[in-house]
Amino acid sequence: MSKVSRRGFLAGASASAGAIVGASAGAWFGADQAAAAAEIKSQTAVLKRKEKFYGAHQNGIELELQTFTNFVAFDLLDGVDRAAMLRWMSLLTDDIARLTQGDAALADAQPQLALGPARLTATVGFGPAMFEKLGLEHQMPDSFKNLPAFKIDALKSEFSGGDVLIHVSADDPIVLSHAVRRLITDSLGFASVRWSQQGFSNAQGVVPHGVRQRNLMGQVDGTDNPGLATDDFENLVWINDGPNWIQGGTIMVFRRIAMQLNTWDQLGRVEKEQVIGRTLDTGAPLGKANETDVIDFDAVDANGLKVIPDFAHIRRAHAHAPGERFFRRPFNYETGVSADGNPDVGLLWTAYQRNLDTQFIPVQRRLERFDLLNKWTTPIGSAVFAIAKGVQPGQVLAAELFA
């Protein structure tokens, strides 16, 4: 059986037709074009950078931010069962493995767009509703569920929920767009797109290695994150118990957080620093010199007032227990400017953790009660996904879940 025929068999009649078209298109991608694409891959540093695909964990989490990102959530089509899910995951696994290494997907209609890896990653997760639809509630990791309602939320359905998530990021927008297009093509025989949300961070080379990026409010973001490849990260993020398919995986909280920059920009520097609890220039806690200095929540000024106010964001977000932390990976978004000049901007904010009940939820409860930053930020999208563990060559993502 040829590879294209195998793909058509896996995807079903609809996707099979697409595969045939793709194969035909691929045939037109001649040797000269392939050689030109290969030359580009070998010449540019940004395109050559590659993230590994195989391993204990899925890629796209334990790494520095890429420049561009796209979160795509799907709802299952009627009649999709566990066997169909396994076929879908087989297609995704195969294509993600190829695309992340800079190769064209199987039966790729536009293989010339696979310019190189450009640190492309693609991460797959599953929402609570998918487990309910497929009768797999017993396979859910501990604490996994829809988030409770928070009083600061103003959620919109077009930015929230979803049965399955594919989160794709890369350092080049063309590489990213091509990969997303391919992975959506893989998926349409099994699910419909519920929402897609695009974001960005600093371009590669703009911010020195190890320096945290700023969000669009001008604040350094992610200071208290556990370090990559540390025991701290391992203990906070990767699940090590429960069903086999999730051991090595994690739980992702997704929040689309709108920023009201028109009123934020009216504040002076001192007021902005009081709201966050950090200086604007270095990101240091108020009263300290460096971003990573230990926060002194008891410090008072000459007037006896707290240096870091009770309403400051870092005081409310600070962990009350060693395990009450998580790994944040926020991308900015900007979708335009209104007629009165107000930009539609904010964060596509993600948090990765082992347990929602002991990590994200207690922190969010404190923030909803008394964080002055809530005056300028509003969660308008929300979802939660269980991220399957990684795969080794020859394996299929989440195969143990759907077998």
Provide the 10 A C-beta neighbour count for residue 50. 14
* pLDDT at residue 31, rounded to an integer: 58
DSSP-assigned letter for residue 287: T
Of 237, 327, 253, nearest in space to 56 by CA: 237
Q: How far is 28 from 211, CA to CA, in rounded Å?
A: 45
Distance CA 56, CA 155 (A): 34
State the Rg of the chain over Cα. 22
State both tokens at 148: 């409770």
Q: Which residues of the chain have pLDDT under 70?
A: 1-42
Q: Give the pLDDT of residue 41.
A: 60
Q: Are 123 and 335 in contact (CB under 8 A)?
A: no
Other CB atoms within 10 Å distance of the CB of residue 263 = 11
**Do 148 and 361 contact (CB within 8 A), yes or no?**
yes
Q: What is the pLDDT of residue 77?
A: 98
Residues 149-201 have pLDDT tens digits of 999 999 999 999 999 999 999 999 999 999 999 999 999 999 999 999 999 99
**Helix axes 173-187 and 82-99, enclosed angle (nearest 10):** 160
For residue 257, what is the enclosing H or E element? strand 250-259
Q: Please count the residues of the chain.
A: 403
Q: Name the one residue in this structure whose structure tokens are 């920009």.
A: 265
pTM of the model: 0.90
Exposed/middle/buried for 337, CB within 10 Å: 0-12, 13-18, 19+? Answer: exposed
What are residue 72's DSSP bridge partners?
Answer: 166, 196
What is the reported pLDDT for 384? 98
Question: Which residue spans within 45-129 are E strands per DSSP?
Answer: 68-76, 121-126
Residue with tokens 């492309």: 120
Distances (CA, A) of 223 to 66, 213, 284, 295: 17, 10, 9, 12
Are 368 and 152 contacting, i.e. CB atoms less than 8 angstroms apart?
Answer: yes
**Hey, which residues are catalytic here?**
221
* Under 8 Å between Cβ of 371 and 314: no
Residue 390's closest CA among 183, 229, 241, 248?
248
pLDDT attached to residue 46: 87
Cα–Cα distance, 365 to 314 (Å, whole number): 14
Whether the CB-CB separation of 367 and 275 falls below 8 Å is answered with: no
Cβ atoms within 10 A of the Cβ of 168, count? 26
- Using CA atoms in the order 390, 392, 395, 401, what is the torsion angle rounded to 10 degrees? -30
Across 98-119, b (16+ Cβ under 10 Å) vs e yields bbbebbbbbbbbbbbbbbbbbb
What is the per-residue pLDDT for 75?
A: 98
DSSP single-letter state for residue 159: G
First-to-last alpha carbon distance for the chain, in angstroms, is 23
The pLDDT, as a whole number, for residue 353 is 98
Angle at 282 between CA 280 and CA 283, to 5 degrees: 65
What is the average pLDDT score of the chain? Answer: 90
